[in-house]
Structure 1
Amino acid sequence: MTYDAFRHFADSWGLLFMAICYLAFVGWALLPRNRERSKAAKEMIFKDRDNG
């Protein structure tokens, strides 16, 4: 495979593949069943914080 052929493939199908993966990962993170896990991750930095 030449550089030009590889570049053409990456510019067309590689970009499409990355866009589909991005949408799948964002969709997976926003599923309702992941709500508790997201809430726990959001509040993790305050876990060991003093109240005073």
Structure 2
Amino acid sequence: METYSLLREFADSWMLLLLFTVFVGVVIWVFRPGSTATYKDTANIPFRHEDKPATSKEKEARP
């Protein structure tokens, strides 16, 4: 069997299955329970200091 045919057959079967599994895993990771607070905090980063500038004593990153 030629190299191209072998790689093509592998990509058509197992790689498709692997990439689909990774996709489903990422979707489950994003919608897992308890992640809502993390995503809301991250989404509000641009509005964190909307009314006044940040002071030098404030920590920007969470521990």
Normalised to the residue count of structure 1, the TM-score between the two structures is: 0.77
- 1:10 deviates by 0.8
Higher fraction of helix? 1
Instruction: Please name the residue that 1:43 is paired with.
Output: 44
Instruction: Please name the residue that 2:11 is paired with.
Output: 10
Matched, 1:21 2:12: no
Matched, 1:30 2:31: yes
- 1:14 deviates by 0.5
Structure 1 spans left out of the alignment, 5+ residues:
none
Give the % identical residues: 31
- Matched position secondary structure for 1:4: helix
**Equivalents in 2 of 1:36, 1:9: separation in Å?**
41
Normalised to the residue count of structure 2, the TM-score between the two structures is: 0.67
| Further displaced range: 4-13 or 40-49 | 40-49
Q: What value does the CA root-mean-square deviation take over the aligned residues? A: 1.8
Which residue type is aligned with residue 14 of structure 1? Answer: M
Larger radius of gyration: 2
**Equivalents in 2 of 1:45, 1:26: separation in Å?**
25
